[in-house]
Amino acid sequence: MRRERRRRPQSGNGLVRRGRRGRTGGSNVVVYSAYNAELTQGLADAFEDEYSITVQVVRQASADLNARFAAESEAASLGADLLWQPDPVFAEDSAENGWLAPLDPAQIPNLELVDTAEQTEYYVPVLEQPWGIAYNTDLIKGAPPASWEDLTTGSALERGLLVAAPQNSVATAGVYNFWLNSFGEDYFTDLQRVQNYAMGDSVSNAIQQVAAGEVGAFVPAPLSTVSTVQKAGAPVEVVIPDRTTGFAMLASISNTAPNPNAARLFVEFLLSDAGQAIAVGDLAVPVIESVTSGISRPAEYVPTDNVETSARLDEISGLVTP
């Protein structure tokens, strides 16, 4: 995904000056984020310090956030300038509905640092997160499952396994498409037979259930969401299999953003070395080659095929649902 390109010099501080002027003359930007709350706030604080532009963060789980963005867009009462979420199909639908503004490298020069094959006219990936297995360390004794195959060949997990509903997000369903391509339909039957799993209503809520000891494990789990409960002292760890897939967090700008220039400047910051370092922390893969922080892609990482996943969503739902 990452490609290093020579940075094109910006013309003076024009982008910054424009960023400080909203449609109403204010210096602020509203960011709707489905990413890790602590890292999102860290980005907001650093952006404010750098540009003296106030950032208001609205943080929700991706399904809830996207539903809010859609409802507000349809009602022409949108409060967001920038949307940061993981579902490429939602982003494509939003663009088709006229809810997103084009991203122009002439206005956001750092777009040129990201592989053009990974971005579209209306969204750009900011980071990648590989999918893993979250488990409660008080319940799962000994060696935890280290691969997706371990869930079907090992023993039943203490207090069971939760599996995310694929209908909530194409990003989440991508891991099930990966299972289907890698292991075939029998994998789902074997997983149900061995683990007798139940469905979780959302990634965030399911990981909270793992943290509380209500269930032993949850799949698929991103490091960024697990980190939130770990910071609160919960006995939860996550294993990232060597062979896995993942998803990108996508930045888009609302077509009716009250502060479009500040939103463009925020995307520029997200794709800068400083913004990337804050965004990935020690939880994600950066999209800019020069950034040395963050994690590396797993050894046998398989990029998600979002088009195929979307086309197979009904089939996937039928295989995953017990």
SS (H, E, C) 122-140: CCEEEEEEECEEEEECCCC
Q: Over pLDDT 90: what percentage of the chain? A: 84
Euclidean distance between CA atoms 46 and 44, whole angstroms: 6
For residue 60, what are its two tokens? Answer: 């929700």
pLDDT tens string 21-60: 554 445 899 999 999 999 999 999 999 999 999 999 999 9
Cα-flanking dihedrals φ and ψ of residue 67, to 5°? -65, -40
Mean pLDDT in residue range 78-86? 94
**DSSP H helical ranges for 116-202:** 150-153, 170-183, 186-195
If asked whether residues 71 and 111 sit together in one domain, one would say yes
pLDDT tens string 99-158: 999 999 999 999 999 999 899 999 999 999 999 999 999 999 889 999 999 999 989 999
Mean pLDDT in residue range 173-186? 97
pLDDT tens string 250-300: 999 999 999 999 999 999 999 999 999 999 999 999 999 889 999 999 999
Q: Report if residue 8 sits inside a domain.
A: no
If asked whether residues 177 and 280 sit together in one domain, one would say no
Mean pLDDT in residue range 66-76? 95
If asked whether residues 198 and 305 sit together in one domain, one would say yes
Q: How many domains does the chain have?
A: 2
Q: Report if residue 168 sits inside a domain.
A: yes
pLDDT of residue 50: 96
pLDDT of residue 169: 86
Question: Under a CB-based contact definition with an 8 Å cutoff, are residues 134 and 171 in contact?
Answer: no
If asked whether residues 115 and 256 sit together in one domain, one would say yes
If asked whether residues 226 and 261 sit together in one domain, one would say no
Q: Report if residue 101 sits inside a domain.
A: yes
If asked whether residues 238 and 96 sit together in one domain, one would say no
Residue in the block written with tokens 């424009």: 18
Q: Report if residue 293 sits inside a domain.
A: no
Q: What is the mean pLDDT of the chain?
A: 91
Question: Under a CB-based contact definition with an 8 Å cutoff, are residues 89 and 63 in contact?
Answer: no
Q: Report if residue 291 sits inside a domain.
A: no
Question: Under a CB-based contact definition with an 8 Å cutoff, are residues 18 and 69 in contact?
Answer: no
Range of the domain at 203: 132-244+301-320
Q: Report if residue 7 sits inside a domain.
A: no
- The CATH number for 33's domain is 3.40.190.10
